[in-house]
Amino acid sequence: MEDRTFKAKLVRYIDAGFPIIYINTFEEDKVDSLIPEISSGKEVYEWNETNGYIDFETKTPLQEDCTLERMLDQLKTPDLLDRKILIFKDITSYLDEPRIVSKVKGLARMINQGVDATVIIVSSVLVIPKDIEKYVTILEMDYLNTDEIKTIIRGFVKDNLNQQVDEKLIEEFALAFKGLTEFEILNLLALSYADDGDLTRKDLRLIFDQKQQMIKKAGILEMIPLKETIDDIGGLENLKAWFIKKAKVYKNMNNAKKYGVDMPKGVLIAGVPGCGKSLNAKAAANLFEVPLLRLDMGRLMGKYVGESEGNLRSAIALAEAISPCVLWIDELEKAFAGIGGSGGGAEVTTRLFGNFLTWMQEKESPTFVVATANDITKLPPELLRKGRFDEIFYVGLPNKEEREKIFNIHIKKRRPQDLKNIRVKELVSITEGFSGADIEGVVKDAIESAFAEDKTSIQTADVIDAIKDTHSLSEIMKDSLEKMTKEYENRKFKSASK
Ligand code: ATP
């Protein structure tokens, strides 16, 4: 099998004569430690803001106070450039200067024409001027695997703590750190240690919170706190039973595999707004006992060429690094509308879609995808074909039994003491066409009004008043709901409800 490690990729790109390799990472030190292993006898020079133009190996200046521009000038002929690797750090702020960009482009062209050299840009931010875009190949650093993370933790324990840390706790820390860089992990270890001079299970909470922020800063995924459980969902019994079965497989992956069970891939939940699709994504992560990452498809679509693909790649790489996890892809139809059309935008979407399908098909990591969509007519048929997802469910408006359960859940959540006063069956009979969100809204309104009127409890009549004041979803979306229901019936999707 092809070696897909970061180092192997870097070597391949250098050998293949890629002129500019852009390593997008916070971990300069890690790149530095790899360079001697991949330079294969070439001279390696570096430019950085602090030291200027230096010999990479000895770190001695090749010229005092050399600016980036002057360094570039000194390499402008093929014989000066030949058999060199040039490492650029801290240069992103210079990449909006046309003179610098044009000189970097000059180097790239010489390399393209056969000069044996490579430019490597190392930066935590990605800035690629249009003029050099076609010469640049982006390379992301690999995420650390669990064993590497454990080695970092053990190293930290050895250097800082007087006593041993339980191996089971190290495992738990390692799992919590997945998806973070070495730098981030060491910072979090130091922070966990600083409060009481120890690493304990209660530090996991802190790590989780910090990790949530770090993921947020990276900008493409959001880590959602897990509050909702399967018991917060009224009805949708088929879907819930399906999740419970998958959870058993997912939580016993090794045994399941040995038994011959396929790794669960994911599920597409389509249907009516406000009827529990998001709720199910959240409850699934809780059931699987893994973190929930939300990928917002609207945000993923960047405005620069190639940006959306880069974003999707990064999102998937991060999710895989954090896995086991549930990756919730919200509003799937937003990303893939316009597939197969013509024009720049449509091409990007089509490519993006291709990448996504390939990933779904080949995925080996325990990243369980829960995709949700309101309008499946906008989704490309390839996605709905068997084999992409383990199953496709549609969620419709809740039926009588389901409405009863949803009323009970929401009343119990807020006013458990009033449940006995309320004739839920009566409410159910007058709420045909209400979505779960409508029912929740009605309960909230009734409670608010009762409070405003200084009532000691809420009664059936209060809820009925709120119902009368509500325009249900089926009233508001009558036509499109009918169309949608027909569509699901035609396609014979599984119903989430019993
Ligand atoms: P959208 O497509 O608009 O995002 P959705 O189908 O994802 O809608 P949710 O966000 O899951 O809908 O539901 C909105 C709110 O309505 C939930 O937070 C929940 O409180 C309530 N709700 C919806 N369906 C149910 C249900 N079956 N049981 C209990 N509560 C429900």
CA distances from 458 to 64, 163, 413 (A): 80, 57, 14
Ranges 79-83, 104-108, 337-341, 492-496: which has the least confidence? 337-341
Q: What is the pLDDT of residues 357-370, one digit of tens each?
A: 888 888 888 899 99
Q: Which residue has the tokens 């092809």?
A: 2
* Domain range annotation of the chain: 6-140, 146-218, 230-395, 400-476
Atom of ligand 1 nearest to the CA of 402: 27
Mutational test site, ligand 1, from 224, 279, 408, 473, max ligand atoms within 8 Å of CB: 279
Cβ(256)–Cβ(400) below 8 Å: no
* Confidence grade of residue 328 (pLDDT, cut at 50, 70, 90): very high
Q: Which CATH class is domain 6-140?
A: alpha beta
Taking the centre of ligand 1 as the mean of its atom positions, its distance from the CA of residue 391, in whole angstroms, is 20
pLDDT given for residue 1 in this prediction: 38
CA distance 18 to 319: 28
b/e burial code for range 41-72 (CB count within 10 A of at least 16 → b): ebebbbbbeeebbbebeeeeeeeeebebeebb
pLDDT given for residue 2 in this prediction: 47
Say how many Å lie between the first and final Cα of the chain, rounded: 46
Ligand 1: residues with CB < 6 A are: 233-236, 273-279, 372, 374, 406, 409, 436-437, 440
Rg (CA), the chain: 28
* Confidence grade of residue 43 (pLDDT, cut at 50, 70, 90): very high
**Preceding peptide of 78 cis, ω within 30°:** no
Tokens of 349: 């979407």
Q: Do domains 6-140 and 230-395 have the same CATH topology?
A: yes
The CATH label, of 3.40.1410.10, 1.10.8.60, 1.20.58.220, 3.40.50.9100, for the domain at 400-476 is 1.10.8.60
pLDDT given for residue 307 in this prediction: 65
pLDDT given for residue 55 in this prediction: 93
Quick one: three-class SS letters along 223-276? EECCCCCHHHCCCCHHHHHHHHHHHHHHHCHHHHHHHCCCCCCEEEEEECCCCC
Cβ(149)–Cβ(50) below 8 Å: no
Q: What is the pLDDT of residues 57-75, one digit of tens each?
A: 999 998 888 999 999 999 9
Tokens of 466: 């709120």
Length of the chain: 498
* Confidence grade of residue 83 (pLDDT, cut at 50, 70, 90): very high
Q: What is the pLDDT of residues 437-486, one digit of tens each?
A: 999 999 999 999 999 999 999 999 999 999 999 888 888 888 888 888 88
Q: What is the pLDDT of residues 179-225, one digit of tens each?
A: 888 888 998 999 888 888 888 888 888 888 888 887 777 677 888 98
Q: Which helix (H) or strand (E) holds 467?
A: helix 460-468
- What does the mean pLDDT of the chain come to? 87
Q: What is the pLDDT of residues 8-37, one digit of tens each?
A: 889 999 998 999 999 988 778 888 988 999
Instruction: Name the nearest CA neighbour of 485 among 395, 389, 379.
Output: 395
Mean pLDDT for 302-318 is 71
Ordered alpha helix ranges (H), 57-97: 68-73, 78-81
CA distances from 481 to 26, 101, 335, 410 (A): 48, 54, 22, 25
Q: Tell me, what DSSP letter sits at residue 494?
A: E
* Confidence grade of residue 248 (pLDDT, cut at 50, 70, 90): very high
Mutational test site, ligand 1, from 230, 231, 240, 275, max ligand atoms within 8 Å of CB: 275
* Confidence grade of residue 121 (pLDDT, cut at 50, 70, 90): very high
Reduced to 3 states, what is the DSSP secondary structure of residue 384? helix
Q: Tell me, what DSSP letter sits at residue 125?
A: S
Taking the centre of ligand 1 as the mean of its atom positions, its distance from the CA of residue 373, in whole angstroms, is 13
Superfamily of domain 230-395: P-loop containing nucleotide triphosphate hydrolases (3.40.50.300)
Mutational test site, ligand 1, from 278, 401, 438, max ligand atoms within 8 Å of CB: 278
pLDDT given for residue 341 in this prediction: 61
Q: What is the pLDDT of residues 418-443, one digit of tens each?
A: 999 899 999 999 999 999 999 999 99
More confident residue, 283 or 383: 283
Taking the centre of ligand 1 as the mean of its atom positions, its distance from the CA of residue 321, in whole angstroms, is 29
For the cut 90, the answer to whether the pLDDT of residue 494 exceeds it is no
pLDDT given for residue 234 in this prediction: 95
Mean pLDDT for 368-397 is 86
pLDDT given for residue 443 in this prediction: 97
CA distances from 219 to 135, 253, 312, 461 (A): 26, 30, 12, 47
For the cut 60, the answer to whether the pLDDT of residue 303 exceeds it is no
Instruction: Name the nearest CA neighbour of 170 among 184, 189, 194.
Output: 189
